[in-house]
């Protein structure tokens, strides 16, 4: 028996406006902005298969006042300089493993693109040394995931385990303080800024980079590497999206705009082929 494949109903002007302005006018500007953006992208996507859906005009999307912010992407040379800077941290009498913790944390953040909170919350039970996997639990978007480590990071992790002597049961956390609890983001930020300062690394505006910029750098460098190796961008983006735990591919698409100049044609080609896949997004 053959079944006719039915298409979803057409989005009308009334349906779109009812969705955007639901809530009796009690919604915040950010909520309305998100609804406008989402329903616009949905209509563009639906029109690929069944033209006729009402597309909310881009120029009517309300503007949210935000800082003119562009993530800082470290160069490969700056990453090498920072790695050397963290390796120079000295052992402290009151916290003898602090230098090891920060050295490994830096490499973890750059080599995996984890959010700082995800890294600091890692427990020893979340690390699979047999298969080189990190189990990320209860992250920002509540979507647990497994993150494979590169072979070099995997080997570094084994050496770190040995140096930290985790077998004695003094802590549950991968990155512990001298008291065995996990570090707080504030204390991590202070140490990272000290290393940035010592390495002479600042943004174009003269400020010190943020720890979260290592996540942006990982995404940009990973995307750059995959494209250089011949990976189709349509395959690279979904893989990277899942790896770093983005809510959807729109957040990952933003990194196309941070690639070096030699890749500038890729984003243009993707948008020309299918503009619905390059929405207006913020960074996650």
Query: Comparing 80 with 139, which gets the higher pLDDT?
Result: 80
User: Worst-scoring range by mean pLDDT, 10-14, 152-156, 278-282?
Assistant: 278-282
**Phi, psi for 92 (deg, rounded to 5):** -105, 145
Could you tell me the CA-to-CA distances from 73 to 17, 86, 178, 219 in Å, in that order? 39, 18, 32, 9
Q: Where are the domains of the chain?
A: 13-60, 76-199, 213-277
Overall pTM surpassing 0.95 (yes/no)? no
Helix ranges restricted to H, the chain: 13-20, 29-49, 76-87, 98-112, 116-120, 151-164, 185-199, 213-228, 233-244, 249-253, 264-273
Alpha carbons 68 and 30: distance in angstroms, whole number = 17
Helix, strand, or coil here: 198? helix
pLDDT of residue 281: 40
Alpha carbons 260 and 280: distance in angstroms, whole number = 20
Residues 123 and 171 sit within 8 Å (Cβ to Cβ): no
Alpha carbons 236 and 252: distance in angstroms, whole number = 10
| Mean pLDDT estimate for the chain | 84
pLDDT-derived band at 276 (thresholds 50, 70, 90) equals very low
Residues 107 and 89 sit within 8 Å (Cβ to Cβ): no
pLDDT of residue 260: 65
Which tokens belong to 182? 């996990």
User: Worst-scoring range by mean pLDDT, 178-192, 223-237, 239-253, 261-275?
Assistant: 261-275
Q: What is the pLDDT of residues 147-164, one digit of tens each?
A: 999 999 999 999 999 999
Superfamily of domain 76-199: Intergrase catalytic core (1.10.443.10)
Q: Which residues contact 12 (CB under 8 A, 6 or more apart)?
A: 54
pLDDT-derived band at 74 (thresholds 50, 70, 90) equals very high
Q: What is the pLDDT of residues 214-226, one digit of tens each?
A: 999 998 898 888 8
pLDDT exceeds cutoff 70 at 81: yes
pLDDT average, residue stretch 234-240: 82
pLDDT of residue 283: 41
pLDDT of residue 156: 96
């Amino acid at each position: 028996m053959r079944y006719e494949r039915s298409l979803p109903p057409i989005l009308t002007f009334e349906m779109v406006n009812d969705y955007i302005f639901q809530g009796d006018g009690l919604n915040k500007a950010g909520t309305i902005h998100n609804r406008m953006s989402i329903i616009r992208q949905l209509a563009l996507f639906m029109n690929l298969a069944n033209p006729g859906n009402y597309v909310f005009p881009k120029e009517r999307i309300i503007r949210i006042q935000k800082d003119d912010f562009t993530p800082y992407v470290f160069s490969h040379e700056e990453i090498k300089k920072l790695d050397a800077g963290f390796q120079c941290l000295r052992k402290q009498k009151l916290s003898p493993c602090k230098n090891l913790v920060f050295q490994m944390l830096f490499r973890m953040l750059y080599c995996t693109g984890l959010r700082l909170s995800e890294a600091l919350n890692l427990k020893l039970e979340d690390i699979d040394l047999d298969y080189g996997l990190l189990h990320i639990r209860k992250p920002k978007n509540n979507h647990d995931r497994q993150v494979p480590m590169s072979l070099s990071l995997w080997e570094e992790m084994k050496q770190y385990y040995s140096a930290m002597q985790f077998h004695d049961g003094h802590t549950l956390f991968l990155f512990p303080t001298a008291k065995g609890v996990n570090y707080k983001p504030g204390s991590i930020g202070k140490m990272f800024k000290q290393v940035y300062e010592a390495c002479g690394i600042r943004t174009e505006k003269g400020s010190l980079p943020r720890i979260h910029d290592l996540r942006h750098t990982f995404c940009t460098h990973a995307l750059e590497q995959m494209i250089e190796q011949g990976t189709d961008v349509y395959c690279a983006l979904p893989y990277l999206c899942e790896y770093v735990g983005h809510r959807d591919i729109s957040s990952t698409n933003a990194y196309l705009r941070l690639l070096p100049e030699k890749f500038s044609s890729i984003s243009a080609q993707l948008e020309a082929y299918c503009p619905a896949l390059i929405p207006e997004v913020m960074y996650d």
